[in-house]
Structure 1
Amino acid sequence: MGILQEEITRRSVIASAGGLVVGFSLGRAFAQELPPATPPAPPVSLPGSLDDERFLDSWIRIDPDSSVTVFTGKAELGQGIRTALLQVAAEELEVDPAEIRLITADTGRTPNEGFTAGSQSMQNSGAAIRNAAAQVRALLLAEAARRFGLAATELRAENKAVLAKDGRRATYGELVSGRMLHVEAQPQSALKPPGTFRVIGKTLPRVDIPGKVTGQPAYVHDLRLEAMLHARVVRPPSPAARLTEVDASAAEALPGVASVVRDGNFLAVVASKEFQAVNAMRALAAAARWQESETLPDQTDLPAELQRLESEAGTVAETGMLSSDGKIFEATFSRPYQIHGSIGPSCAVAQMKADGTLDVWSHTQGVFPDRAAIAEMLAMPEDKVHVIHMEGSGCYGHNGADDAAADAALIASKLPGKPIRVQWMREQEHSWEPYGPAMLMKISAALDDQGRIASWAYDLWSNTHSTRPGGAGALLAARHKAEAIQPKPAKLNISPSGNGDRNADPLYVIPNKRVLWHFLADMPLRVSALRALGAYANVFAIESTIDELALMADADPVEFRLRHMEDPRARAVIELAAQRFGWDKAQMPRNRGRGFGFARYKNLAAYLAVAMEVDVEPETGSVHVIRAVSAIDSGEIVNPDGIRNQTEGGILQSISWTLYEAVAFDRTRITSTDWSSYPILRFASVPESVEIHIVERPGEPFLGTGEAAQGPAAAAVANAIRDATGKRLYDLPFTRDRIRSAVGRA
């Protein structure tokens, strides 16, 4: 049958005939006699991102000198992912981590893993690399067994070589030949069991830290290319502003200025040196004339604005039937627009080369989506655009990185051959990065006679929480061009991972509940992904309500949570956090309180519980978090210190959001354009201690960690303030004025 198939292929017929070939089909003639065609079976699912990039050599390369290179489509954002990925690869390949070269997100070299977001790097890329490494090890052992004439079980891999008991040895480089690793991965891998680990589960110093603390080039901001020029963009003064005229002569006459670039509302200056570009930017800004209009909502009544802008509603979860019987608690909570607050403003470098290709270095969290958006903006084929990730100032979400990349790319397209470096200014980062969306949450919950939650109605109002490229319309430069590209319309999308509705469905056992997302398609302010998306505000509102219901039930808040929790892993972190905190019913000193918060991130990633102790000064409205004690279950532990880093950082960032942060604006402009008008947590206000206790789960799948702390930490602060003052605060952030007003000291 195989020979017959070869004889009648189109290629073989043309090759053998050497002349005119007439083709026809007898399919219809025999239609009644042939059995119906069997549809091809769908491909077998593979672990993590292997399911999308299925060949082993997409992830691992071994060269003749036995050097090992591992590829990941994920980006290092300061979360320590490079270290953890090296650990899983080293473990399964039986190689020292220092012997592995790791290539991170690069459209010309690495797998396409979309965005580095949602705390999914270990779940997706970590699982892919670990399984690929285990399968590569198996292939190496099998090849050595063939050469040695032994069973693979008689061999072991060690230090980039396969060893036999009789002393024979073959290096990885000697064993790998041709396209040996260009094979599709299998659904099952012979992973090393936890008891044999040498590297996984151990604290390995982060490989990205030395360069950062010793002043070596570590960030895209540090990149310097030969003959590189420096650019600054003159941003419009407000979101709806239109450039009516500009006299560029004064800026062009300044020392070092190479060019002024204008394309519609996009205005930039290019100079030989960075400070020359800054001076020219200021001169150009002074010469620009803009037409502005009032398009922003009324910040003094933002909750009403959110409800007014609702376009449709979607059901996130629904079980049983709602009831108004029993004791009822009703409340409305709100969250303002908030920024990423990257300490280092966004930066990018781009160069249009002589062959018509464009190289872009960016701290984007998605090199492949950013490539597509830039290519669309410049009307270039995607394969002519090469985006290389370099680290930037960490932000956890969609800040100005993609926009800076687009700025650099657009300017570079006007000045081919010259590397162009674009650095944003502080006021530009504050004013123009995509914000974390404002949210409104309304809850109505009922207790039955046994003190259990009988009914739960939860309604939230919010925009989409991700407009990442997203197409060219997600980029400021593309929007501001004369031939402007508009953003794609936002759509309601309810998924297991969630968006604005992330963690809106409580993990607690509640027999009757309904959760609705009232979706806002129109976005008064530009918004996108900010760490944890909707989970931060949803968990804050849910866990604040849980505490109020516990009070109504005359129950301890921790006991009340356990009363409604069946998931054993959730119970374990709740109990561990309470135990290590020393949670009890003892009376706290005056103006001091304790609070608790819990969530499983996205209801499918890491479990986290945190208890906090706070001190409140009624006269000033000042809140100081004295200590925080957290327990986290992230599944299999790769790098314990990495998990602690992420959790500590998440707790501190959440405290900052909860006590200080809110974007300010009038009807025309953003007014919180610096650290004075947009305050953040300072060192003096950091808790005296932050403890992180990790639950060991050997052999369990990796669970996303980086964003697990945001919601529970906000709730713990809110509940501790309630405990200290007897007053519940509903509107984030809990500023000094709001504290003073709540306790009657305004």
Structure 2
Amino acid sequence: MNGPIRLNRRSVLAGGGALIVSFSLGEALADDQSAPPAPKPPGSLAETPYLDAWIRIDADGTITAFTGKAELGQGFKTAFQQIAAEELGVPFKAVNVVTADTRRTANEGYTSGSNSTKYSGTAIQNAAAQVRELLIAEAARRFELPPESLKTEGGAVIAPDGRKLGYGELVAGDMLHVQAQAKSKLKDPATYSIMGQPVPRVDIPAKVTGGAAYIQDMRLPGMVHARVVRPPSYGAELIALDSASVETLPGVVKIVRDGNFLAVVAAGEYQAVKAMRALASVAKWRETARLPKQDDLPNVITGLPSQDTTIYTQSNPSASGTRTFEATYTRPYQAHGSIGPSCAVAQSINDAMTVWTHTQGVYPDRAGIAEMLRAPPASVRLIHVEGSGCYGHNGADDAAADAALIARALPGVPVRVQWMREQEHAWEPFGPAMVTKLKASLDGNGAIVDWNFDVWSNTHSMRPGGAGSMLAAQHMAQPFAVPAPKPLPLPEGGGDRNAIPFYKFPNAKVVHHFIPAMPLRISAMRALGAYHNVFSIESFMDELAVAAGADPVAFRLKHLDDARGRDVIEKAAKEFGWQSGQKAPPDRGYGFAFARYKNLAAYCAIATEVEVNRQSGRPRLVRAVAAVDSGQVVNPDGLTNQIEGAILQSMSWTLYESVTFDDTRITSIDWQTYPILRFDAVPEKVDVHIINRPGQPFLGSGETGQGPAAASIANAIADATGKRLRDLPLTRKRIKGAIDA
């Protein structure tokens, strides 16, 4: 044995766990320089290779699966429970899933990019399969039988003669703190009885019955309520504060000020709200006009200094075009618009800080909060609790920092921080504004022979990792500097995500104009740059199809050689009833769009029917039909939920949403000034058709629908009106203006 026996902290803390033994041959093999590097375990097992980081079995047979990812409504908590149960050969309800917690789960960074099942689900699947084989091997040793003669069922290993040993009995002597192997003996997909089945999501009941489902619902014994008084605008300075009258208000416990950070704590929530408003009325701020002109935003964006990088080129001098077309597409700043404004709960006990938060990255957020508090990261624990509505970097991390800073001033007392609606709308990081310019040439056969794509965008992630990414730390008397913005690397990318065409063209060039300066506060929003880039590409493909006199679906297939992509396009077209040369009913139009998310994740094609009221310009999505290929499907119902949600969210962005501002302040601070999709505008029908690929790797699918939905709706509006709109959102006013032009 090489080195000392290592004990699993979780097993020791829980008591009644199992003995853990680990060993390594690393040093013995270190001198063999000729040996090729050992293959890594799949998914997140590569970074966190010990099996008990993913699967725990207690002596009483209790089974727990761990993931460092945060459940945000994607439904992966249910899917991971299915995966673990399937590979372990136990009923679905026999597995409990623990999500992101810096004390209990692996560090899987951020929950983003539709990567949860691809990385964490793969880790759980392979860890569970290897645990199953270890249990079988241990049972074989005790039964004195060959492992292949045994089977697993109902949480036990069973011998041919009927003898059985429960999983809890088997782990009582030797446990699972061993490193994962690079390959696992996964079950044959043909034998699945849990994976691939539409299991109801475990997170839904509390959400639809008014139960305690969200961080906003958390209540701890002795908890107090806090409200932050935010500056009125970016860069505003608190120059005077007479808080004496506020300190005597009913229920007020404490006023916390640190530079430009100002908050009030009260025993009751409404007492905190009243005190916040009173405190805001006596706070005097110095503001500076620093925002750009909104009505000239595209020129502002393209006029800012940029770092230009050619990210793709393809050259075939023998191919030349006879007709050239150009188009420019724009996207405004857009908000997450979370239905529940951000919230967090924090408690400091004996210099140990615990924060309950709906952040999408408990470990990076812990690093930022620890830096802000000037405390060792080990003294800060972050526990993920779902928030009411968000995919991306909204105010969650800021609320967590607010709560930690306030809780430090009230040792031992649980502090709940709840943002107000206007604070969320004004201060959350927005999805960046973008500009794309496209140019393409067609040959005599109506094929694209030359393609040029330029995209201007800020970074698409200013998530924590350092204190400077959080408002509380920026506003302190000794502020932390906002970190320098950086482009996100390909192949996933940020502003250039999906900018490289998935179609095949003889000549192509894609340039990313990365803009470091950020006029408004921005960060990650669902799909990042893919939403606008796919909107641009797929809108332009329709424009080129019209110019070529071709059917839009046939035109796409003509330029696509990826077999799975073609299957998705053909499936969506078939299920929609798409016919070449079709004509929509009066005042209606048909649209189509396709993309493979990030050019490496799930495939999605969407056909839509849109009605336009020519008198008012109001668009109405009548129906949408989607086809998706996400590899091996774990929970078809959960996957359907994701695509349906993506279509509705993208519809809202595409038809309604745009952040507004003057030269000093954000002005879209409520649902009137920042309208979103309402229930009366929900489509009559959304159909999702899944192409399952048993045995194939999991492909991220949570964000695959945003871009195709936007372009499909835009193409349907163009079909209905005969006018092409290229500036998002495609509002009633813009549509009416185009009709009347």
Letter in 2 for 1:103: V
Would you say 1:113 and 2:108 are equivalent positions?
yes
Q: Are the aligned partners of 2:320 and 2:443 in contact in 1 as well (CA < 8 Å)? A: no
Counterpart of 1:362 in structure 2 is: 357
- The answer to whether residue 649 in structure 2 is matched with residue 649 in structure 1 is no
Write the letter of the residue equivalent to 2:204: I
Q: What pairs up with 1:449-488 in 2 under 5 angstroms?
A: 449-488=444-483
Alpha-carbon offset, residue 44 of structure 1? 2.5
CA-CA distance at 1:129 after TM superposition: 0.1
Aligned to 1:327: 323
Shift of 1:210: 1.4
1:629 aligns with 2:613: no
Take 2:507 and 2:466, find their aligned partners in 1: how far apart are those partners?
41
Paired AA for residue 474 in structure 1: S
Counterpart selection for 1:605 from 583, 601, 608: 601
Who is 1:386 aligned against? Answer: 381
In the alignment, the residues of structure 2 paired with residue 369 and residue 681 of structure 1 have an alpha-carbon distance, to the nearest angstrom, of 32
* 1:36 Cα offset (Å): 9.7
> Equivalent residue of 2:730, what SS?
coil
Instruction: Give the equivalent residue in structure 2 for 1:208.
Output: 203
- 2:494 is aligned with what amino acid? N
Structure 1 stretch displaced more, 305-314 or 87-96: 305-314
**5+ residue gaps in structure 2?**
5-29
Deviations 1:452-476 (A, max 9, x none): 1100110010000011113111100
Is contact 1:314-1:492 (8 Å) kept?
no
Which one-letter code corresponds to 1:621 in the other structure?
Answer: G
Alignment match, 1:10? none
Instruction: Calculate the TM-score normalised by the size of structure 1.
Output: 0.94
Name which of 664, 678, 681 aligns with 1:668.
664
Mapped pair 1:199 → 2:209: no
Match of 1:99 among 94, 97, 108: 94
Aligned partners of 2:378 and 2:549: how far apart in 1?
64
Decide whether the 8 Å contact of 2:321 with 2:444 is kept in 1.
no
Deviations 1:282-303 (A, max 9, x none): 0000000000011111101001
Corresponding residue SS for 2:271: helix
363, 367, 373: which one aligns with 1:372: 367
Which residue of structure 2 aligns with residue 9 of structure 1?
none
- Which residue is equivalent to 1:32? none
Deviation at 1:325, TM superposition (A): 3.7
User: Is the alpha carbon distance of 1:63 and 1:36 closer, same or farther for their aligned partners in structure 2, counting shifts above 3 Å?
Assistant: closer
1:595-628 deviations in whole A, cap 9, x for unaligned?
A: 0010000000000000000111121010001100
Correspondence for 1:738 = 734
Q: Which residue of 1 aligns with 2:341?
A: 345
The one-letter amino acid paired with 2:57 is I
In structure 2, how many angstroms separate the alpha carbons of the residues matched to 1:137 and 1:486? 49
Q: Which amino acid aligns with 1:163?
A: I
Equivalent residue of 1:440, what SS?
Answer: strand
| Partner amino acid, structure 1, of 2:293 | D
Letter in 1 for 2:658: A
Of residues 678, 684, 706 in structure 1, which corresponds to 2:680? 684
In structure 1, C-alpha distance between the alignment counterparts of 2:184 and 2:314, rounded to whole Å: 39
Partner Cα distance (2:210, 2:614) in 1: 44
CA distance in 2, matches of 1:61, 1:631: 37
Query: Partner of 1:729 in structure 2?
Result: 725
Cα RMSD between the aligned structures? Answer: 1.7
Query: Structure 1 residue 37: deviation in Å?
Result: 8.4
Q: Secondary structure at the match of 2:81?
A: helix
**What is the CA–CA distance in structure 1 between the aligned matches of 2:32 and 2:132, rounded to whole Å?**
39
Matching of residue 435 in structure 1 with residue 430 in structure 2: yes
The answer to whether structure 1 residue 401 and structure 2 residue 392 are counterparts is no
Q: Partners in 2 of 1:40 and 1:480 — Cα distance?
A: 54
Q: Which moved more, 1:309-318 or 1:688-697?
A: 309-318
How far off is 1:700 after superposition? 0.6
Q: In the alignment, which of 468, 488, 510 is matched to residue 505 of structure 2?
A: 510
Q: 617, 628, 631: which is aligned to 2:613?
A: 617
CA apart distance, 1:327: 1.0
Q: Which moved more, 1:483-492 or 1:690-699?
A: 483-492
Q: Distance in 1 between matches of 2:243 and 2:35?
A: 63
Asked if structure 1 preserves the Cα contact closer than 8 Å seen for 2:633 and 2:698, the reply is yes
Separation (CA, whole Å) in 2 of partners of 1:575 and 1:533: 27
Q: Distance in 2 between matches of 1:317 and 1:482?
A: 46
In structure 1, what is the Cα distance between the partners aligned to 2:702 and 2:558?
Answer: 28
- Is 1:566 matched with 2:561? yes
Q: Deviations over 1:116-165 (max 9, x none)?
A: 11111110000000000000000000110111111111100111100011
Distance in structure 1 (CA, Å) of the matches to 2:621 and 2:61: 52
- Give 1:493 shift: 3.7
- Inter-partner Cα distance in structure 2 for 1:69 and 1:195: 25
Q: How far off is 1:511 after superposition?
A: 1.4
Q: Please point out which of 400, 405, 414 is paired with 1:410.
A: 405
Residue number in structure 1 paired with 2:636: 640
Q: TM-score, normalised by structure 2?
A: 0.95
SS in 1 for 2:740: coil
Task: Indicate the SS of the match to 2:451.
Answer: strand
Question: Does structure 2 conserve the Cα–Cα contact (< 8 Å) formed by 1:316 and 1:494?
Answer: no
The counterpart of 2:232, out of the listed 234, 237, 245, is 237
CA distance in 1: counterparts of 2:504 and 2:36, whole angstroms: 39
For residues 143-193 of structure 1, the C-alpha deviation after alignment (integer angstroms, 9 at most, x for no partner) is: 101111111111001111000110111010111135521110001101001
Which of these two proteins has the greater Rg computed from alpha carbons? 1
TM-superposed CA distance for 1:273, in Å, is 0.5
Aligned partners of 1:560 and 1:214: how far apart in 2?
A: 47
Q: Which runs of 5+ in 1 are unaligned?
A: 7-34
Distance 1:515 1:387, change over 3 A: same
Tell me how far apart the structure 2 counterparts of residues 215 and 74 of structure 1 sit (CA, whole Å). Answer: 25
Is the Cα contact below 8 Å between 2:407 and 2:414 reproduced in 1?
A: yes
CA distance in 2, matches of 1:495, 1:670: 32
1:232-286 deviations in Å (ceiling 9; x for gaps): 0000001121111111112111000001111011000000000000000000000
Find the residue that maps to 2:347 and give its secondary structure.
strand
Greater shift after overlay, 376-385 or 305-314?
305-314
**Paired letter, 1:464:** T
CA 1:233 to 1:579, structure 2 compared with 1: closer, same or farther past 3 Å? Answer: same
Q: Counterpart of 2:587 in structure 1: which amino acid? A: N
- The 2-side partners of 1:710 and 1:213 are apart by 25
For residues 567 and 340 of structure 1, the distance between their equivalents in structure 2, rounded to whole angstroms, comes to 33
Is the deviation greater in 396-405 or in 488-497? Answer: 488-497
Contact 1:333–1:730 (CA<8 Å) still a contact in 2? Answer: yes
1:732 offset after TM fit, Å? Answer: 0.1
CA separation of 1:42 and 1:376: change in aligned 2, threshold 3 A: farther
Query: How far apart, CA to CA, are the structure 2 residues paired with 1:366 and 1:520?
Result: 25
Q: Match for residue 122 of structure 1?
A: 117
Tell me the CA shift for residue 404 of structure 1: 0.3
SS in 1 for 2:212: coil
Pairing 1:536-575 to 2, within 5 Å after superposition: 536-575=531-570
Residue 311 of structure 1, CA deviation: 2.4
Q: Secondary structure at the match of 1:743?
A: helix
**Aligned residue number for residue 250 of structure 2:** 255
Matching residue of 1:715: 711
Partner of 1:57: 52
- 1:722 and 1:728 in contact (8 A); partners too: yes
Question: Displacement of 1:41 after TM fit?
Answer: 6.1
Deviates more, 1:315-324 or 1:333-342: 315-324
Do the aligned residues in 2 keep the contact of 1:440 with 1:461 (CA within 8 Å)?
yes
Match of 2:517 in 1: 522
Residues matched between the structures, number: 714
Cα distance 1:737–1:182, how it changes in 2: closer, same or farther (>3 A)?
A: same
In the aligned structure 1, how far is the partner of 2:304 from the partner of 2:316? 28
Is the CA contact 1:494–1:501 (under 8 Å) kept in the aligned structure 2? no
How many percent of aligned residue pairs carry the same amino acid?
Answer: 60
Structure 1 equivalent of residue 571 of structure 2 = 576
> d(CA) in 1 for partners of 2:289 and 2:313?
40
Matching of residue 86 in structure 1 with residue 81 in structure 2 = yes
